[in-house]
Amino acid sequence: MLRWSDVIKYAKYSNPEPPRRVEKTEDEWRAQLTPAQYRIAREKGTEPPYRNAYCRSYEPGVYVCIGCGSRLFDSATKYHAISGWPSFTQPVAKNAIRYAFDGSHHMQRIEVLCNVCDCHLGHVFPDGPEPHGLRYCINSESIRRVDA
Ligand SMILES: [Zn+2]
């Protein structure tokens, strides 16, 4: 299980090796994604809190990347974080996610991206529930729930 110290180490030094890579041109991404998905997943946008698909949804399944279909989060790790966005405590695998320091909006945050196709997912914070203390705060537009 990942801890905050692992996240910092990945963001600072090097991320885990992805299981595969998917790379597309911006035109290909625009053709594949809806405008809202493109703005968030490829231009690092943020959807409005609460008014998004998965904030209050707790049905079982696996959340996959909107860009490449890679498995990112299991519904068993989803919890109610009162943030307005779907929140998870752990990714499905250590190498599912890539981490990067993000100094935008006058904040110091750690961005989380799909490790396979670099779609922007959201951010991770060290204020999640015990025992590992991580809160992956994810945009609904960047993910899609499928049956496990
Ligand atoms: Zn992806």
Residues 6+ apart with CB under 8 A from 147: 61, 62
Cis before 131 (ω within 30): yes
Ligand 1 centroid – CA 58 distance (Å): 22
What are 4-48's pLDDT values in tens digits?
999 999 999 999 999 999 999 999 999 999 999 999 999 999 999
Per-residue pLDDT tens for 97-145? Answer: 999 999 999 999 999 999 999 999 999 999 999 999 999 999 999 999 9
Tokens representing residue 35 in the block: 């405008």
Domains of the chain: 4-146 (2.170.150.20)
**How far apart are the CA of 116 and the centre of ligand 1, in A?**
5
pLDDT for the residue 99? 98
User: 17: CA distance to ligand 1 center in Å?
Assistant: 14
- Catalytic residue numbers read 137
What b/e readout covers 95-126, taking b as 16+ CB neighbours within 10 angstroms?
Answer: bbbbbbebeeeeeebbbbbbbbbbbbbbbbbe
How close is the Cα of 111 to the center of ligand 1, in Å? 14
Distance of CA 25 to the CA centre of its chain: 21
